[in-house]
Structure 1
């Protein structure tokens, strides 16, 4: 696993322009305990497929003279991760702590959820591991699989495309665009979904160009 994990979705200019994260990426700043806590959350997802225990984050935050509650709240405000109403981690891009349409099976055997199709596609490079992504076409529910082996992707169906969309509003990626970044079995399915969701603006991208 990488010593410093760079999360995925934050490098896409088309998707993240409206929420103010273009050119900022998803790596939290080093000060105020932000990077230490953020990296710990991502490493834990990659190692076991879920969020770390509060005590782990509390110790890291304390080293910066803060509480974990304060650090997590700031990470949430800056959209490095998202919290639920109870202050628990709901997602840390690219990983989701709750069920999502895109399932990851990492080369180390760990299984986790991905926030969106684009996040899922970048996990193999982020972790330097083989990754198998399983998803479903939002139109007909048909299975879609993308398997990365030694850096090479195998797509099933071969005609799979990605729709990269967003809503015309500001806010965290989790609410603005994550559910509008999906795999489709072919071009016609992606076009059909776009017609059914005029409130979502985006583009269809070919395989290998997340």
Structure 2
């Protein structure tokens, strides 16, 4: 069972709900993720209807129909109908009932901080959709659109209009996007990567609609392109251990994997820096779990785990699906 606690920063009820979750589990094992949500757009992606929101295997057992996503405080009512800032222990026990857990083992609690293997992908829960302020989103979306149309990175001059519309220079906007790890620049200020795209060859080749070919930064990025562009995409990669070819073909929103046993390894190194250097080469496709495990043993400096096709697709869609939305 996976329990996710979504809170706004410094939510006074976050420690309360964590204590109650521990009590409700009664010593059973579960993975508890603590994720801070700062923006309404993030709340909408997580389906968070106030802080704190508790998800059990991705589902909110306390959801109320018609309540919109929000980063405001959330109220719950206990068995006596009294309001409170967190679900009661009994309500949590009911929510956890029927899920698969192990007895007589401690709760494995983790925070989505710098040590989480998925943090560099999703910017520590902040998401990869650039903010609307200061021209960041407009320029970022122009960069992604150019990659999608040509398979190549735009030159700074190609982005002048988008930056000028908010009274900024392309150089300034690109530098800010680089600092916030929405893209990476080389020493001359040219774009090396704009997740999910890479300006240079990688093991993950993309064929987009109309025959455009491009490269993705990593396996998760490659899987996110179809959701971001809302088009059919073919991903071609290979197993880093034995070289077996791996393809994922998206047709009408459905992904077909070859070979059928293929998995994804997600990992990161214990160092600071942008995703391009911390984890991109540690997120790979493998033809099966056997070679994925072998690769993990061969790279002890990489902290990571094997995830299923369904989980890889979920992470990819959640991360990259919203990037080109116009709201």
Could you say if the C-alpha distance between residues 66 and 118 of structure 1 is closer, same or farther in structure 2, counting changes exceeding 3 Å? same
Matched, 1:138 2:240: yes
CA RMSD of aligned residues (A): 1.9
Could you say if the C-alpha distance between residues 57 and 18 of structure 1 is closer, same or farther in structure 2, counting changes exceeding 3 Å? closer
Distance 2:184 2:275 in 1: 9
Per mean C-alpha deviation after superposition, the further-off stretch among 46-55 and 152-161 is 46-55
Matched, 1:155 2:257: yes
SS, match of residue 250 in structure 2: strand
Question: By how many angstroms is 1:74 displaced?
Answer: 0.7
Larger Rg: 2
Aligned residues: 200
Structure-1 residue corresponding to 2:117: 15
The TM-score normalised by the length of structure 2 is 0.58
Q: What does the per-residue CA deviation read over 1:143-193, in whole Å, with 9 as the maximum and x for residues that have no partner?
A: 111111111111111111100001111210001111000000111100000
Structure-1 residue corresponding to 2:204: 102
Question: By how many angstroms is 1:16 displaced?
Answer: 4.0
Distance 1:119 1:63 in 2: 29
Structure-1 residue corresponding to 2:283: 181
Structure-2 residue corresponding to 1:170: 272
In structure 1, which of residues 186, 201, 204 is the aligned counterpart of residue 303 of structure 2?
201
Distance 1:147 1:94 in 2: 17
Structure-2 residue corresponding to 1:25: 127
SS, match of residue 209 in structure 1: helix
Structure-2 residue corresponding to 1:86: 188
Distance 2:243 2:121 in 1: 30
Contact 2:118 2:266 (8 Å CA) reproduced: no
Structure-1 residue corresponding to 2:224: 122
Where structure 1 has 5 or more consecutive residues not aligned to the other structure, the ranges are 1-5
Q: What does the per-residue CA deviation read over 1:9-43, in whole Å, with 9 as the maximum and x for residues that have no partner?
A: xx9x6434368822211111112111111010001
Distance 2:122 2:240 in 1: 28
Q: Map 1:58-97; keep pairs closer than 5 Å.
A: 58-97=160-199
Question: By how many angstroms is 1:105 displaced?
Answer: 0.5
Distance 1:125 1:70 in 2: 29
The TM-score normalised by the length of structure 1 is 0.90
